[in-house]
Structure 1
Amino acid sequence: MFQLNEIELQNLSSSGLQDVLGRIGVTVTPDSGPALPLLRGANEKTAGTDHLGDYTETKVTYSNEADTAVVHLQFRCYESFVLTSVQGEMINASDFGKQHCFAAQNGIIIHAQGMTNIDGLMANYQHKDWWTRPHFDPKWSTLPERTQSLLWRKESAFYHLLPVCGPVFRTDVCGTEEGLQIRVSSHQGGRTRCESLSFVLGAGTDPYQLVERHVEAALHTLDYPTLPRSRKPYPEILDSLGWCSWDAFYHQVNEEGLLVKAEEMQAASLPVQWVMIDDGWSQTVDKKLSSFEADVEKFPQGLAETVRQLKEKYGIRWVGVWHTIAGYWGGIHPDSPLAKQFSDYLYSNAKGSLIPYPDAGRGFGFWHAWHSFLERQGIDFVKVDSQSAVLNFTKHEWSIGEAAAAAHEALEASAALHFNNTIINCMGMAAENMWHRPKSSVSRNSDDFVPQDQFGFAEHALQNAYNSYYHGAFYYGDWDMYWTKNHDDIQNAVLRSVSGGPIYFSDAPGNTDASKLWPLIYNNGKIIRCEQTPNPTADCLLLDPTKETVPLKLWNIAKSSGVVAAFHIGKYTDSVKGTVGPSDVPGLEGDAFVLYEHFSGEMKIMHQGEQHAFELQPGQCAIYLIIPSGGAVTPIGLTNKYVATDAVSDVKSEGSTRSLQLKEGGTFRFVSENNRVSAQLNGKALPVLLISEHLYEVDVPMLDEKLNIVLSVSE
């Protein structure tokens, strides 16, 4: 159990965790005047039990000499983690005199000093208002501001610190020469009191369990309506292949272009099931929304007619539209009919920007009106952009926790009513957004895919891979659209094959290569989606593959088999070498495994603890399946797909016979160390081709009936 010994946070010596945060000090930043260093005073210790288990609790008081600033740090220590809460007050002599308040930003700073050297680190920090990216330098002094997740390793133990954005206050972390600063901010002036769960800190040998445990513990303690990803349903619409207008048309999207692209996809027999009409469709003035209707020049017959043709003429099942969390980038135009009609539901900030009111009930009125209109036009879901602009619109006027919670609750209440809560959240990786979306389950996991950037894939892959470590505990990641004809097209496709989230492309008319899509989907348009959100494998979790001579490796699960995708994203021309094996996928059960690589068709039988060496050239990628051995016969799956194992279900064994179902026809491969094998489809024999030693292939036809395969081995 984590324990406090004086002012050092420690674990029992038997578990080998000591001096996690070193010496703890507290500083208060008032809204005027110099910072106030506080002195440590008394502490109180108690014990108890709650929904998270048994705990010991230590409350340490800090105050300045004049007793005008008091902060209580409350450490509630469970078996393997500690919840740290902050209670602070600026004490004023009267209510009518000059008031001393906490500064809107960094009002309370917890200093963790004297932290020891570590063996590796991976932090996720908010490098732009909208996005986070990883940081790897193990020197504490280099840790960036606005760090939202901090993982480090010392010897054999991993430590994870998760800052929390509570109902009012947001906590961030940054580095200093001596350790860490843990900063608590409301982003609102005039506050004299602070009470907030500030951060979760824990340790263990499995870094992937740490972050999920910490998110669950914090959300339970906050008693939020927000759910962790594990308790959120994945949207039905986003389980199918989609196309987005953004990189095809940018702001020039119009009805004609959309219908031309839809006709092209239909002619190519591509089973695109949904279309997203991105930015550019709305009526705006000066980058502010002026009407619920579509732009009349771009959509002369109205949005409803475009949607009708997409669905009825071209077989698109679902159509979505884009808007921002403020309506449009600059909000709602103050001179528009919308501003007058919905004035009760809109808020004008000090600058004069007009946005949906940062009160859930009032803000809902605006979204309900717009979404109701969109639903009547045939719209089925929405992409909501610019979400981290909530702080920029409300800074100093509302606390960040209250503003973000209200914005997301209002939005999601309407989306649930009109679109079955099918939202693609976007530009919203700030902590206040991540912690305050009640039930929407899909959120963009990185900065934009930029098709024109010749070297953009490395950063795009890096952000998605390492952001997924902590963001994936909250949401299924949207790894953005991509182009099927591009210098990085194969790498982008493989990256999305392991994302566990939506798969959609954004080619302009005439630029779609259908062959680059089929390995990701089935004939009915369903995407082949892994079962979890992916993570970097343990051997690269604390390394930067753009700077180190190591491949980026991502692991996931598909039908009880491991999936490992490997990429060369280094900023150099030499090849990189790595290894892959069963230990790359935590929890993978079995002693013997089949290792299969998609592009080379290479197969290897291996055992737990073994590793297979590989080498990647610049721009090259690989995708490995690690399948628990099935004895006499081990099915791999449809190897014309990247994640072949997804196609296999209802596997049963009886002696030397194995039966299974396939989702559709295609190139089916399996492994047997016996050279006398046979295959049947629905009771009829199929030719079996030997591909390499122990690797067999069957060409399964496409049939409009269940595909029951029986594989037999003759003694």
Structure 2
Amino acid sequence: MTVTPGISINDGNLVVHGKTILTGIPDNIVLTPGSGVGLVAGAFIGATASDCKSLHVFPIGVLEGLRFMCCFRFKLWWMTQRMGTCGKDVPLETQFMLVESKEEDDPNAPTIYTVFLPLLEGQFRAVLQGNDKNELEICLESGDNTVETNRGLYLVYMHAGTNPFEVINQAVKALEKHMQTFLHREKKKLPSFLDWFGWCTWDAFYTDVTAEGVKEGLKSLSEGGTPPRFLIIDDGWQQIESKPKESDCVVQEGAQFASRLTGIKENAKFKKNDQNNEQISGLKHVVDEAKQHHNVKNVYVWHALAGYWGGVKPAAAGMEHYDTALAYPVQSPGVMGNQPDIVMDSLAVHGLGLVHPKKVFNFYNELHAYLASCGVDGVKVDVQNIIETLGAGHGGRVSLTRSYVQALEASISRNFPDNGCIACMCHNTDGIYSTKQTAVVRASDDFYPRDPASHTIHISSVAYNTLFLGEFMQPDWDMFHSLHPAADYHAAARAVGGCAIYVRPTVDCLFADPARDGISLLKIWNVNKCSGVVGVFNCQGAGWCKVTKKTRIHDASPGTLTGSVCANDVDSIAQVAGADWNGESVVYAHRSGELVRLPKGASVPVTLKVLEYELFHFCPVKEISNTISFAPIGLLDMFNSSGAVEKFEVQMTSNEKLQFFDGEVSSELTTSLSNNRNPTAAISLKVRGCGRFGAYSSQHPLKCCVDNADTHFNYDSATGLVTLTLPVPSEEMYRWHVEIQV
């Protein structure tokens, strides 16, 4: 049965571009072509059953001998990565899977990458999992025992091609057209806070945050030379029940998870009296002071999707019109089979105050309107996946989640015109495939300052989760500590993760396991406007353990690892370089400070101990003439050095024949001859920031100017490195005009 030119079922095997992916396809599995969504490269997997149920498990074929990478929910809130080669390696709650198939007999044949995306269909949600017979299975559930079905035709979407990043991008865009329940990231408005350095109050105060604490924190950061322009007032500002801590109520970092919201305004820690001793909005005062005295541009505050961890208190004074009722969470078998969660342990006993889905827009709108009146610019909406556990009696998990997400986005649109929303604890497809507006998503589990096992995992999880999440929203890192043994490691990853697109593993890392295999370095790539960057990290030694069902250290002393990097590790380097690029680049290594010119296809080695990193900036070389070539690098002392260069133009100024030299010439003579010639070209750069600026030039420049004023520069003839100093600009976001004559 041929379904598309590339995907078919032949003799009981699922074949993609001539390569067998699954064998032993059961008779109840149905393939539907994806041509209806405008792309012939895809197909949908469906299944039928003999009886109606609210939960089905459909084996869809045997997976053996093919490398794959998947993102699965190791706990209710968050995904992480897992690599494997057969069906039994596929974890419960797998929401994204990429399979590699090669032609063993022909090393020159292209590698085919096939992505599997389990979907939402009607009131049901599908995920992938494996079993001990190496079968890949679809787990289909509604989350409501009264919502049943005996079939689904569009449960998993498959898409295939030779470039894995393009395959994923095309697959999600095809689904956007097919499902019409979400929008791709490229169609969403990115909030402006993404351009600014920020501070979140959580790790400083946990739930003990106060108005005075926020004020002192901003003052301390400013005095330390790092004034934040973005502020998140995290959990601890809201009015919640003041009840004695119960022995069976779990408390972690100050959060009492069964506590419920009792009002939409700030609590007593943020209240303030005016000159007449009358109470005024303390939150407004905090926001005004942050913006007026500390030049903070955006202030966000935290709230849970259900209001608070334990929801909204039923019939709380002034909140009766939300029709809140106690509901008791029921987790799906897949989540229960992975990591238990202390939040759910609390709520299973005490229940959650669930605002009626028909009233939840009113709740959000009144909350957000009040926050906006205080000058708040947006919200960090946390604990989102709790809603999937409360679908009973509301049409199931998909229906309830979609009601909440649509109400939230409508309120954000009305009250926060900059699309001010960060989605957090939200890695379920119920929500991901229901977001038409939310543009920023926390990409991994928390930064845990006191958990040594967490730091390498934090970096690798963001890289692999982003392959999937980055198609829907801009991935956002958790906060981290600048005074911490792993501070540089975390800072470097965040610096290269916040560029023009978003950080992703290099092709040669897609199916390696840089957290567990003991031999692989993690390499992640990104692009700036005029260059590419590859971050290399030794992440070995820790991972999520399916036996102990928690994150743990499995190798207390992982070894030093060696690998290599090249320009083509940046998948889109050719597009950045332009049509006339000959493949040559210079590479600047941030930590070592070394600059090397690389011929096309050449690589440089890198050796790292655990929790070490290096950032390589690949800057395409521009051939200006037969003897002059040039490449801008950027601010040499910044992690994301090449992010400083925003524009690069070359204007030829001379048609004179250039001098050639036979044999070796001393660098002094070369410099003398170079300085006596007429300029061949003027290189014009737009650069932001301040500090040591560097560029590569094959010849000694004649002159350097910053904003039309001559400036001193140094030239290292051994490496071709030109350096000059950019002063601190008087305006924020200022772009210097740097001109270099060669």
1:532 aligns to what SS in structure 2? coil
Residues 464 and 46 of structure 1, relative CA distance in 2, 3 Å threshold: closer
Q: How many residues are paired up?
A: 622
CA–CA distance in structure 2, aligned partners of residues 703 and 376 of structure 1: 34
2:656 aligned residue: none
2:633 aligned residue: 636
2:58 corresponds to which of 110, 117, 123: 110
1:650 aligns to what SS in structure 2? strand
* Structure 1 residues 532-585: Cα deviation after superposition (integer angstroms, max 9, x where no partner): 121111121111112232211110110141111111121234211111111101
Residues 7 and 400 of structure 1, relative CA distance in 2, 3 Å threshold: farther
1:349 aligned residue: 327
Report the residue type matching 2:496 in the other structure. Answer: V
Tell me if structure 1 keeps the 8 A contact 2:300–2:380: yes
Alignment of 1:711 onto 2:706 = no
1:17 corresponds to which of 19, 27, 34: 19
CA RMSD of aligned residues (A): 2.3
Tell me if structure 2 keeps the 8 A contact 1:545–1:551: yes
Tell me if structure 2 keeps the 8 A contact 1:253–1:298: no
CA–CA distance in structure 1, aligned partners of residues 34 and 449 of structure 2: 55
Residues 406 and 452 of structure 1, relative CA distance in 2, 3 Å threshold: same
Residues 8 and 651 of structure 1, relative CA distance in 2, 3 Å threshold: same
CA–CA distance in structure 1, aligned partners of residues 294 and 729 of structure 2: 24
2:501 aligns to what SS in structure 1? coil
1:261 aligned residue: 217
Alignment of 1:379 onto 2:376 = yes
2:228 aligned residue: 272
1:586 aligned residue: 571
Alignment of 1:143 onto 2:90 = yes
Alignment of 1:336 onto 2:316 = yes
2:412 corresponds to which of 405, 415, 419: 415
1:702 aligned residue: 728
Alignment of 1:390 onto 2:387 = yes
Matches within 5 A, 1:603-622: 603-622=595-614
* Structure 1 residues 590-627: Cα deviation after superposition (integer angstroms, max 9, x where no partner): 31111111121111111331111111122211111111
Q: CA deviation at 1:394?
A: 2.5
Alignment of 1:162 onto 2:109 = no
Tell me if structure 1 keeps the 8 A contact 2:37–2:174: no
Matches within 5 A, 1:29-48: none
1:191 aligned residue: 147
1:322 aligned residue: 302
CA–CA distance in structure 2, aligned partners of residues 647 and 706 of structure 1: 9
Q: CA deviation at 1:89?
A: 7.5
CA–CA distance in structure 2, aligned partners of residues 358 and 89 of structure 1: 33
Which has the higher mean CA deviation after the structures are superposed, 445-454 or 312-321? 312-321
CA–CA distance in structure 1, aligned partners of residues 9 and 451 of structure 2: 53
2:265 corresponds to which of 277, 293, 311: 293
Report the residue type matching 1:401 in the other structure. Answer: V
* Structure 1 residues 277-302: Cα deviation after superposition (integer angstroms, max 9, x where no partner): 10111111151001112121454452
CA–CA distance in structure 1, aligned partners of residues 113 and 707 of structure 2: 51
Alignment of 1:541 onto 2:490 = no
Q: CA deviation at 1:230?
A: 2.2
CA–CA distance in structure 1, aligned partners of residues 313 and 22 of structure 2: 49
CA–CA distance in structure 2, aligned partners of residues 200 and 247 of structure 1: 40
Q: CA deviation at 1:6?
A: 5.4
Tell me if structure 1 keeps the 8 A contact 2:328–2:390: no
Q: CA deviation at 1:703?
A: 4.3
Report the residue type matching 2:401 in the other structure. Answer: A
Tell me if structure 2 keeps the 8 A contact 1:164–1:198: yes
CA–CA distance in structure 2, aligned partners of residues 87 and 405 of structure 1: 25
* Structure 1 residues 179-214: Cα deviation after superposition (integer angstroms, max 9, x where no partner): 201121111122343556211112222111121111
Tell me if structure 1 keeps the 8 A contact 2:558–2:610: yes
CA–CA distance in structure 2, aligned partners of residues 3 and 484 of structure 1: 50
2:400 corresponds to which of 403, 410, 413: 403
Report the residue type matching 2:116 in the other structure. Answer: L
- Percentage identity across aligned positions? 25
CA–CA distance in structure 2, aligned partners of residues 611 and 292 of structure 1: 57
CA–CA distance in structure 2, aligned partners of residues 383 and 646 of structure 1: 27
Q: CA deviation at 1:357?
A: 2.5
2:469 corresponds to which of 468, 471, 475: 471
1:215 corresponds to which of 164, 172, 175: 172
1:71 aligned residue: none
Which has the higher mean CA deviation after the structures are superposed, 388-397 or 611-620? 388-397
In structure 2, stretches of 5+ residues that fail to align are 103-110, 242-257, 274-281, 330-350, 542-556, 575-580, 624-628, 653-680
1:60 aligned residue: none
Alignment of 1:550 onto 2:497 = no
Q: CA deviation at 1:472?
A: 1.1
Report the residue type matching 1:354 in the other structure. Answer: G
Tell me if structure 2 keeps the 8 A contact 1:424–1:443: yes
Q: CA deviation at 1:396?
A: 6.1
1:209 aligns to what SS in structure 2? helix
1:688 corresponds to which of 698, 709, 713: 713
Report the residue type matching 1:251 in the other structure. Answer: T
CA–CA distance in structure 2, aligned partners of residues 708 and 307 of structure 1: 36
TM-score by length of 1: 0.83
Q: CA deviation at 1:86?
A: 5.0
* Structure 1 residues 640-691: Cα deviation after superposition (integer angstroms, max 9, x where no partner): 2222222223321123321112224321111111135431223332222134
* Structure 1 residues 47-95: Cα deviation after superposition (integer angstroms, max 9, x where no partner): 8964514xxxxxxxxxxxxxxxxxxxxxxxx2x22123456684xxxxx
Residues 532 and 167 of structure 1, relative CA distance in 2, 3 Å threshold: farther
* Structure 1 residues 1-33: Cα deviation after superposition (integer angstroms, max 9, x where no partner): 134345635447xx4323x2322227xxxxxxx
Q: CA deviation at 1:133?
A: 0.8
Report the residue type matching 1:606 in the other structure. Answer: L
Report the residue type matching 1:246 in the other structure. Answer: W
CA–CA distance in structure 2, aligned partners of residues 437 and 47 of structure 1: 25
Report the residue type matching 2:412 in the other structure. Answer: A
Report the residue type matching 2:567 in the other structure. Answer: P
CA–CA distance in structure 2, aligned partners of residues 115 and 260 of structure 1: 57
Alignment of 1:200 onto 2:186 = no
2:127 corresponds to which of 165, 168, 172: 172
1:531 corresponds to which of 473, 488, 500: 500
1:518 aligned residue: none
Report the residue type matching 2:24 in the other structure. Answer: R
Residues 457 and 47 of structure 1, relative CA distance in 2, 3 Å threshold: closer
CA–CA distance in structure 2, aligned partners of residues 293 and 197 of structure 1: 44
Residues 114 and 673 of structure 1, relative CA distance in 2, 3 Å threshold: same
1:313 aligns to what SS in structure 2? helix
1:373 aligns to what SS in structure 2? helix
CA–CA distance in structure 2, aligned partners of residues 188 and 637 of structure 1: 56
1:671 corresponds to which of 650, 674, 696: 696
* Structure 1 residues 110-150: Cα deviation after superposition (integer angstroms, max 9, x where no partner): 322343421x2211111100001111122321211111011
Residues 190 and 594 of structure 1, relative CA distance in 2, 3 Å threshold: same
Matches within 5 A, 1:424-463: 424-463=422-461
CA–CA distance in structure 1, aligned partners of residues 707 and 491 of structure 2: 33
Residues 51 and 297 of structure 1, relative CA distance in 2, 3 Å threshold: closer
2:158 aligns to what SS in structure 1? strand
CA–CA distance in structure 1, aligned partners of residues 318 and 25 of structure 2: 52
Residues 46 and 236 of structure 1, relative CA distance in 2, 3 Å threshold: closer
1:375 aligns to what SS in structure 2? helix
CA–CA distance in structure 1, aligned partners of residues 491 and 532 of structure 2: 18
1:56 aligned residue: none
Residues 139 and 681 of structure 1, relative CA distance in 2, 3 Å threshold: same
* Structure 1 residues 254-279: Cα deviation after superposition (integer angstroms, max 9, x where no partner): 01111111112233343311211101
2:529 corresponds to which of 540, 545, 559: 559
Q: CA deviation at 1:311?
A: 1.9
Report the residue type matching 1:580 in the other structure. Answer: V
Tell me if structure 2 keeps the 8 A contact 1:169–1:196: no
